[in-house]
Structure 1
């Protein structure tokens, strides 16, 4: 059997547009002699439709579009696609279904069994699990059809499984000869290596070929890498699609064809994957929301430089405008660096000093007295810049892209109604250390695109004289390590301090003896010095945790944040704002 892997980039809710894109894939698959073309999870409405699924008209129109557009195109080819199907009543009694269409009619249906409710998923809000699992016969082959999460429960691969049911195991026991998985699996750095390894292990475990078809594209904050592929019963790669692009790949599951086929492996995951993900995220967000042009406040620092580079690639430099808005505290070096970058990119560039407005505001608010150099005056500069940028955004119909990174958003070092204002947070899930990695990588692709001075200068918001980020924050490598463990991995204070202590070569047993409040008196000698180091580490980690908790209200008001790590600030992390839990008690 020849199966075409149709890696689709749908727009959520654009049923007609999605169906028309599917017809093009079907036509291309026919030309290549495919017996069956497979589309991703909920490919007709786009994944994930969220509360559109609560609208009866939306669900009904999905079915109508299937009948009007897709069915007539399947006279001589099979099509497997995803859409919501009503159960006994509408949501939350819908099925997340895979529908097999052939000969102009529906010939098989399999609903999703395992409904994830962790991370960014809320599927039991809309769907009910499949009541049964059975292979679907097509042209003499028994297909074991699964949907996304259904293959993520192999007890031979995972130490702990989330669900009591293993759909693949049941399908194989019922005679499935080929496992097909239609998926809407969001990307984060490191995801593809895990996903490919898991599917290869699944194929080897059940001695069955596996065809995995994933959605591609950006839908709001979630980025889908695609990376659809097929593996043989021994886990060998038989076909694959490109990452971060619509694609069509054909796999012939015949024994002779399998033996003869050699497929180039996926490229290793590195910063190029993150770069492509963010570029795709900007491009799709603009395309799907109707924006053609973008606006970036360019400070001369590394964060805004990265956003400008990504935006220029995503939209074309002719569609990006960068604006420098120096204040009395902006260094001449930063202003020059911003201009150099804009020139290198070939984008429109403007300089709009904020001094006159800032001076007038200080005169009004300080009663004619001297500047106080406090947080209010620092934030005022960011908010003045926001007003400038939003004025240009409105007048020129440009999407304003924010430039704050994940490290800043985590600890609250981004200004609400200032540099946090905009329509899309491009690097809000990129830690500061990764910002540097990305910029260095970009300069290997286009040498000296980002001026070296931007990469080597000490990070500074330049909101007061001689300001440096390290005046108020730990060094970024330490900060990002703690944030990864705390935010992404849910580690406790004691666990994080233990990891830092071990890295510093301190005795592990001492960590458990040191209280979170630092009440233990340091003993004399080497042990006393080690205890003091642990106390110092504890204070740093405690402070970071407090900053993360206090900044929750800010993050709630941030624009959508493109996700590239395993846990981003958004639906994947839901914390109360008014709360008093502290990890200190766990040390």
Structure 2
């Protein structure tokens, strides 16, 4: 396990000959060597991988059982120099009883054997004919391959500090899988040795089981099933290999492959520990029962240059187009239903929105339109107020008007230049002084207009600011930071863009679609400074605070996965390699950390708004943080870290 908590695991599916234990041990040795070369620290093989699962009544024959034990002894000897822990499937006799077992060994030492708890005897399965259940066995010793080892279903193993547990095939299908108890008792990785035959539709169910169990147990789940070589007399085995983590599938092998496979992935044990700390329901499930933890140190293996997992550069945005469309529809529904409930409660028949021609106000307006349609209210009750100021460009002004007209709402234009100049005279500010007061006065003037019109009309001011702006504090306190209901408050900027595009593609007439697409192509800007001589936007947000795709990535990993600055910097390097160099990522991560801490006071006073995803910053909900907390420890870690040290 490296310093960021990543553990490289492998599921290996070797060629197999039914009943030929020497051959099977040889192939397992070869794949163990391949796994070690790829940097794996633990490798798991299929159920009964030494004999073959489909041996039938041969499993009761002393000849096969003796051959299996001798082959296991050779496998332990042949892999003793590998910096690797192996988990192999074998039939083991304990007293006069035969058990279907997983044997764990490393550096020539057998650490323990775990018997299968649930022995299927239905449909195509006849395991009770040969094996007994190991359920309830604890604290016993077993003689295996010339060594004495711990034996029982209560065993967990800690290799270099990484604790894992084991279950076998049918155990996962049970109403209460053993892995549930193993996870409650400390195991953060579960390995499943399986020999599950194929059937139409079964694979989809299997994937759901593996992914779902990893989510319920807040664990990494490594599933390895028998493949080509098992008998096809009545059944076919496709060689399923699945590695999931906390409800996410990291890696999947090739089904029905005639080739051997070693499927490798890095699982994030540090993140799993964070998830368990924050999840109060998981803590409530922890039991007082004690399990036997077998600890072992093994030499450090080969370090690979990159992680064996994909780090999503856009964690808030699904990459699959159909899933992205589903996400957009769901977010849109949450936003519109939240606003509908608030309007119904306040008995407001009108909504007031400042329309700038930018992305955020566009999304807020689209949500308001959906809300009014949902409530069967006349869209004319939506008062769109465009308020041209010193930095408003012809492009954004035109888009604001065209969008409001296309959507059929009430359009009002209230320029703020003269009001701001009068305000500057009142407070003694030179208009040539382009300081924060110059910019913020415009934002507060606009908010005052919206609030007063809402009072006049008996309406509700709909906020436009998004999650990314809240995280950075990129909003004027008591200006655009304030509203009566903030529909975008938990929608990150990277998702705002996709939501607007989704509406353009699915719910708009051609003229409105063209306007939305042009808004999407417009640089993000508060437009508080005068435009350039050619009329273009002078104040581009991402030039000032950094790329939103980086800030959304930082936000997700610092808050949702509990990653510190050093790990976040490393992950960003993996996700954005080739697009941003380390110096650039480090610079903007420092900006994010400093602004996130310094701007908490704006979030402490933020208005109500609906939570739509797994990250939200409401001071009444997901994020509780004092406004005067210091970023010193985070900035110190960022200064000290080097991304080439994992």
2:630 aligns with 580
Structure 2 residue corresponding to 1:400, chosen from 434, 441, 461: 461
Partner of 1:326, secondary structure, is coil
Query: In the alignment, is residue 321 of structure 1 matched against residue 386 of structure 2?
Result: no
Change (3 A) 1:393 1:537: same
1:394/1:276 Cα in 2 relative to 1: closer, same or farther (>3 Å)? same
After superposition, residues 285-300 of structure 1 pair within 5 angstroms as 285-300=342-357
Q: CA deviation at 1:463?
A: 0.1
195 and 561 in structure 1: CA distance in 2 versus 1, 3 angstrom threshold: farther
Q: Is the 8 A contact 1:386 1:418 kept in 2?
A: yes
For residue 338 of structure 2, the aligned residue among 272, 278, 281 is 281
Which of 567, 572, 575 is 1:503 aligned to?
Answer: 575
Structure 1 length as normaliser, TM-score?
0.50
Q: What stretches of structure 1 of length at least 5 have no aligned partner?
A: 1-152, 165-192, 203-265, 507-529
Call closer, same or farther: CA 1:505–1:305 in 2, change over 3 Å: closer
Please say if residues 463 and 485 of structure 2, whose CA atoms lie closer than 8 Å, have aligned partners that are also in contact: yes
Is 1:458 the counterpart of 2:458 in the alignment?
Answer: no
Q: CA 1:552 to 1:435, structure 2 compared with 1: closer, same or farther past 3 Å?
A: same
Q: Deviations over 1:239-298 (max 9, x none)?
A: xxxxxxxxxxxxxxxxxxxxxxxxxxx998421111111111111222133323211010
Contact kept? 1:432, 1:480, Cα under 8 Å: yes
CA contact (8 A) 1:283 1:314 kept: yes
Distance in 2 separating the partners of 1:434 and 1:292 = 29
User: Alignment partner for residue 306 of structure 1, among 363, 372, 384?
Assistant: 363
Equivalent in the alignment of 1:510: none
Look up the SS of the partner of 2:353 in the other structure.
strand
Quick one: structure 1 residues 429 and 490, their matched pair in 2 at CA, closer, same or farther if it must change by over 3 Å?
same
Give the CA deviation at 1:361.
1.4
SS in 2 for 1:575: coil
- For the 8 Å contact 2:421–2:431, the answer to whether it is kept is no
State the alpha-carbon separation in 2 of the partners of residues 375 and 565 from structure 1.
32
> Aligned partners of 2:554, 2:209: CA distance in 1, in Å?
26
Aligned residue in 2 for 1:543: 591
* Alpha carbons 2:550, 2:585 under 8 Å: kept: no
* Cα distance change of structure 1 residues 387 and 370 upon mapping to structure 2, 3 Å threshold: closer
Q: Name the CA distance, whole Å, in 2 between partners of 1:491 and 1:201.
A: 19
Structure 1 residue 543, shift from structure 2 partner? 1.6
Shift in Å, 1:393: 0.8
The structure whose Rg is larger is 2
Aligned partners of 1:297, 1:158: CA distance in 2, in Å?
54
Evaluate the alpha carbon distance shift between residue 585 and residue 154 of structure 1 in structure 2; reply closer, same or farther with a 3 A threshold: farther
Question: Which whole-Å deviations, capped at 9, do the CAs of 1:126-167 have from their partners, x for residues lacking one?
Answer: xxxxxxxxxxxxxxxxxxxxxxxxxxx987469845999xxx
Closer, same or farther: CA 393–569 of 1 in aligned 2, 3 Å: same
Q: Matched residue of 2:545: which SS? A: coil
Any conservation in 2 of the 1:155–1:161 contact (CA below 8 Å)? no
Give distance in 2, aligned partners of 1:411 and 1:453.
Answer: 26
CA distance in 1, matches of 2:215, 2:437: 56
Query: What residue number does 1:391 align with?
Result: 452
Which of 552, 558, 566 aligns to 2:614? It is: 566
- Against the structure 1 CA distance between its residues 157 and 427, is the aligned structure 2 distance closer, same or farther, given a 3 Å change threshold? farther
Q: Provide the secondary structure at the position in 2 that maps to 1:472.
A: helix
**2:636 & 2:215 partners in 1: Cα distance?**
41
Q: Does 1:431 align with 2:458?
A: no
Within the candidate set 537, 547, 556, 1:475 is matched to: 547
Q: Give the Cα separation in 2 of the matches to 1:154 and 1:499.
A: 33
Correspondence for 2:398: 336
Shift of 1:475: 1.3
Q: Is the 8 A contact 1:561 1:569 kept in 2?
A: no
Residue 411 of structure 2 is aligned to residue 352 of structure 1: no
How far apart, in 2, do the equivalents of 1:196 and 1:362 lie?
63
